[in-house]
Amino acid sequence: MIPVQGVQGRRVAVLGLGRSGLATARALRAGGAEALCWDDNPAARAKAEEEGFACADLLKQGAFDAVSALIVSPGIPHLYPAPNPVVAAALAAGVPVDNDIGLFFRSFATSDWDGFDVTPRVVAVTGSNGKSTTSALIHHILDMAGRPTQLAGNIGRGVLDIEPAGDGEVVVLELSSYQTDLARSLTPDIAVFTNLSPDHLDRHAGMGGYFAAKRRLFAEGGPDRAVIGVDEVEGRFLANQMAEGPVDDRVIRVSSGQKLTGAGWNVFARKGFLAEWRKGRQVAAIDLRGVAGLPGAHNHQNACAAYAVARALGLAPKVIEGALHSYQGLPHRSQIVATAGGVTYVNDSKATNVDSALKALAAFRRIRWICGGLEKEGGLGALKGQTGAVAKAYVIGREAAGFALQLDVEAEVCTTMAQAVAQAMAEAEPGDTVLLAPAAASFDQYDNFEKRGEDFMAEVRARLGEG
C-alpha cells in the first residue's frame, strides 16, 4: 500500500467503494487521515464498515463540514452528462474533488528514494484501444529483463494498493479517460498515447472532451518522454505539441502501417515487421509474425508502443524481442480459446467499440463473427465496407435484430451467446476463425465484457467436449 501524503489529521470523503475506492480509503487511513466513506450500494458500505471505516450519506446537510477533499471512483461522473449529486454538493461547498490517480502521483515519491541508486519511474498508458495490452506488455518486457516492476491502474490492482517502489523499480499504469480527466496531479516519467476512436462520448460531451481528457496526461505533468501513436490526426497533433522540432527525441512516434523515417525517434510496424528509426536511420528490426500473443496489425501497434517504452528505459532490442515471444496475451483480447477441426476460436470480448472490432476483423482471413450488444453512440456506420473477411455474422443482444440490419454482411439474429456459438460452430469450415468481437458494450446481457468473454469460452469448450 502507498500511504497518501499530506492528509495527516484531515477528514477526506471517499465516494464509491469498489476496488479502487476501498484501496483509497485504506491508503488515506495509512497516511493519517480520517476516511469518510459512501456508496449507494448497502453491501459496499457494509464491507467498508467491517474494515472500520465510517460511512455517512454525503448528501445530508453539513456532510462536507470539515471535509478537506472528495475522492471519486472512476465510474462516477463529475461533469458530463451531469455531475453525480454528491460531486455537485462538493463543488457547491468548494471542496476539492480528486481521484486515486491524483493521490498516487502526489504520494509516490518518498524520502526512502534518497538512498536508492536508481530513481523509480512511472510509465502511464492511455488511449482508446490497446492500452491494457500495451501496459501488460511493457510490464512483461521489464519483468523478463529482470527489472523490478508493478502493474496497476485500470488493469490489475488499484494504484494505491501497490507496494512502495523499490530501488530502480518501474510502475506501469493503465489509465482510462475517466481517470486522467479528474486527477489533480499527473506526473508520469513516460506517457503513452496509443490511439483515439469514438468512445465514452456521453461522459466527455463529445470527441473534443474525450481527447482533452487523454491529453491531460501529457499537458499537466510534462513527461520526460512521450510515446505517441500517430495513426490518427489527434495523435499527430499531440506529438506536434509535445516536440520542440522534428529532431526532438523526447517524443517517440509510433505507427502500425505507416513508414516513419523522419529525423526524430520513430517506431513502426509494416507487413509484420517492427522497425526502429533514429535520425533518419534504421537501428533495429523485429519480425512480429511469429509472436503468437500479438496477432494482427492492432497488436503490432501495441508492440511498437511497448518496444518504444522499453528502449526509452534503456533495454536492448534483442532483450525486448525475446520478451515479445514469451508474451501470452491478455484474457478477452484476441485470446485464442481453442483450435479444433481446422477452426480457431478467438475471444476478443474487449472489442467494445467499432474501432476495436474493426482491428480484430482485420487480424484474421475468414471469420464467423459473433457480434452485438449495447450499441454505443456513433452507430455502426464505420463497419460498412470493412467486413470483407467476414463469411457471416451471428448477432447477440437484446437489440440483435436492429444491430443485424446495420451490417453489410449476411447476418443471423441469434440473441443469446449459446445460440450464436452453436450456429457458428455448425457452419464453420477448416480455415475459419470463430471470432467474438462485439463492437458493442455488454451491459444489456452481462455485467461486464469479462463475463461476456467467459460465456463465449464456456460455450465453445462445452461444445468441443473440453468443459
Output the known binding site.
Answer: 127-133
The CA-based dihedral angle spanning residues 384, 389, 391, 397, taken in that order and rounded to the nearest 10 degrees: -50
Which is nearest to 139 in space by CA: 117, 122, 163? 122
Instruction: Name residue 374's beta-bridge partners.
Output: 441
Q: Give the residue among 72, 23, 15 at the shortest CA–CA distance from 51.
A: 23
DSSP annotation string for 263-321: SSEEEEEETTEEEEEETTEEEEEEE-TT-TTS-SHHHHHHHHHHHHHHHHTT--HHHHH
Provide the angle, in degrees to the nearest 10, between the axes of the packed helices 207-219 and 233-242.
Answer: 30
Assess whether the previous peptide bond of 3 is cis (omega < 30° from 0).
no
How far is residue 370 from each of residues 1, 43, 68, measured CA to CA in Å?
41, 35, 49
Instruction: Report how far residue 142's alpha carbon sits from residue 139's, in angstroms, rounded to the nearest whole number.
Output: 5
Are β-strands 273-278 and 281-287 bridged in parallel, bridged antiparallel, or unpaired?
Answer: antiparallel
Is 192 in a helix, a strand, or coil? strand
Give, in degrees to the nearest 5, the angle at Cα 135 between 131 and 140.
145
Largest CA distance in the chain: 68
Round to whole Å and give the CA distance between 213 and 195: 13
Cβ count within 10 A of residue 111:
6
- Look up cell 536511420; give the residue: 281
Contacts of 294 (CB under 8 A, 6+ apart): 133, 137, 288, 300, 302, 303, 324, 327, 329, 334
**C-alpha distances out from residue 8 to 30, 34, 45, 214, 231, Å:** 9, 8, 24, 31, 46
- Binding positions for ATP are 127-133
- Angle at CA of residue 353, ends 367 and 21, nearest 5°: 130
